[in-house]
Amino acid sequence: MRVLGVETSCDETGVAVYDSDTGLLAHLLYSQVKVHAEYGGVVPELASRDHVRKILPLIRQVLKDSGCGFADIGGIAYTAGPGLVGALMVGASVARAMAYAWNVPAIGVHHMEGHLLAPMLEANPPAFPFLALLVSGGHTQLVEVKGVGQYRILGESLDDAAGEAFDKTAKMLDLDYPGGPEVAKLAERGNSERFRFPRPMTDRPGLDFSFSGLKTFTLNTIAEHRQADGMPDDQTMADIACAFQDAVVDTLVIKCRRAIEQTGLHTLVIAGGVSANKLLRQRLETDMARRGAKVFYARHEFCTDNGAMIAYAGCQRMLAGQGDDLAIRAVPRWPMDTLAPVL
Ligand code: KG4
Ligand code: ZN
């Protein structure tokens, strides 16, 4: 079965064609980073308008790249949530309308399920069951995964998501949006011995996270080292980025370690934008290897938002006979543990 995937939940328009026999045939991504950069974050209305501009040319091109005519497409998967409602509506209405015109099924996919399954697109995919650490701009969750759609949330952030904390820290350090990769780059020049930031909620049992206090700690450290121009010197900024990244990564590693011990699982999947972070990958790999567990993640471009993960997730559900009615679905808030299992 060949499935066209459409992702428009935030600031990237992603499209892809996935074939259940041969794998990914083509994928394209248009990032709106430049549109939002001057505002220091995503402006929802501008995001929706840019999706409208880009979605049809991208779909036309991805069909061409995959060598598919519309008669070759057996179904359309689109991100139905969670995300920005206007942005979601663009992908949902285009996908649903095309499916109606082509007389094929359409399915609304959960964005975080897409992230969670993205490592399945790699040559050496993880086997169920596994523990998943989902770390994106909007979510930080530890999930026990028994199969597609069989999710038990073990812990999650009580306030900011890990990616959001990176983005806010970048803003405080006067770095560009999106901040995660910028903070990581600056941290490479930092001295990890100079500051030690707290590891929130690691001193008590449980698998929940909290990153907003870390943000305040960062702000206070910047204020303490402010110079005449209002910012700390370059080296201090790098040292702060380094201490911040260390604290987030350490906190995530500690919680993954706990979850692996608690569940007895031997496979850890990391997914979502922050799973592209090099230090996080390295530290988790070292720590998990010590416990006889293996870490899986997607290639860099499939860690952040993309259409391939949506095509893949939708395809799994369609192969199991699932599909939606004619409604156009856009669900800004949608708990992942309410999804139907694929048995
Ligand atoms: O999954 P994603 O593309 O979008 C959401 O679903 O939110 O994640 C985007 C988030 C942003 O907060 C971005 O700063 C962060 O992932 N990110 C990173 C890195 N690359 C992206 N954070 C830390 N290190 C990175 N290398
Ligand atoms: Zn995402």
Burial of 208-244, coded b for 16+ CB within 10 Å and e otherwise, reads bbebeebbebbeebbeeeeeeeeebeeebbbbbbbbb
If you compute the radius of gyration of the chain from its CA atoms, what whole number of angstroms results?
Answer: 20
CA-nearest residue for atom 3, ligand 1, is: 304
What is the reported pLDDT for 186?
Answer: 98
What is the reported pLDDT for 149?
Answer: 98
Q: Which residues form ligand 1's pocket by a CB distance below 6 Å? A: 10, 115, 136-138, 163-164, 166-167, 178-181, 184, 272-274, 276-277, 304-305
Sequential DSSP letters for 225-257: T--TTSS--HHHHHHHHHHHHHHHHHHHHHHHH
Half-sphere exposure of 157 (CA within 13 A, CB side): 24
pLDDT in tens, 31-65: 999 999 999 899 999 999 999 999 999 999 999 99
Query: Separation of 191 CA from ligand 2 center, angstroms?
Result: 31
Write out the residues surrounding ion ligand 2, Cβ under 5 A.
136, 305
Query: Separation of 112 CA from ligand 2 center, angstroms?
Result: 7
Q: How far apart are CA 151 and CA 292, in angstroms?
A: 23
Q: Are strands 140-147 and 150-156 parallel, antiparallel or unpaired?
A: antiparallel
Question: Which residues, listed in sequence order, are joined to residue 147 by a DSSP beta bridge?
Answer: 150
Cβ neighbours of residue 105 closer than 8 Å, sequence gap 6 or more = 74, 75, 76, 99, 318, 323, 324
Determine the longest span between alpha carbons in the chain, in angstroms. Answer: 65
Enter the DSSP assignment of 287: H
pLDDT in tens, 90-140: 999 999 999 999 999 999 999 999 999 999 999 999 999 999 999 999 999
Beta strands in the chain (DSSP E): 2-7, 12-19, 23-31, 75-81, 106-110, 130-135, 140-147, 150-156, 267-271, 294-297
Enter the DSSP assignment of 181: H
| Intra-chain end-to-end CA distance of the chain, in Å | 18
Task: Give the chain's residues under pLDDT 70.
Answer: none
Q: Give the position of tokens 């060598």.
A: 67
Cβ neighbours of residue 49 closer than 8 Å, sequence gap 6 or more = none
Q: How far apart are CA 27 and CA 311, in angstroms?
A: 10
Q: What is the dihedral of CA 231, 235, 238, 239, to 10 degrees?
A: -100
Question: Do you know the residue count of the chain?
Answer: 343
- Helix-helix angle 234-263:212-224, to 10 degrees: 160
List phi, psi (to 5°) of 248.
-65, -50
Pair of tokens at residue 326? 């004619």
Q: How many CB atoms sit inside 10 A of residue 328's CB?
A: 18
What is the reported pLDDT for 309?
Answer: 99
Pair of tokens at residue 337? 């543990």
CA-nearest residue for atom 14, ligand 1, is: 180
- Indicate which ligand has the atom closest to the C-alpha of 280: 1
20 contacts 319 by C-beta, under 8 angstroms: yes
- Indicate which ligand has the atom closest to the C-alpha of 241: 1
What is the reported pLDDT for 137?
Answer: 96
Q: Are strands 267-271 and 130-135 parallel, antiparallel or unpaired?
A: parallel
What is the reported pLDDT for 107?
Answer: 98
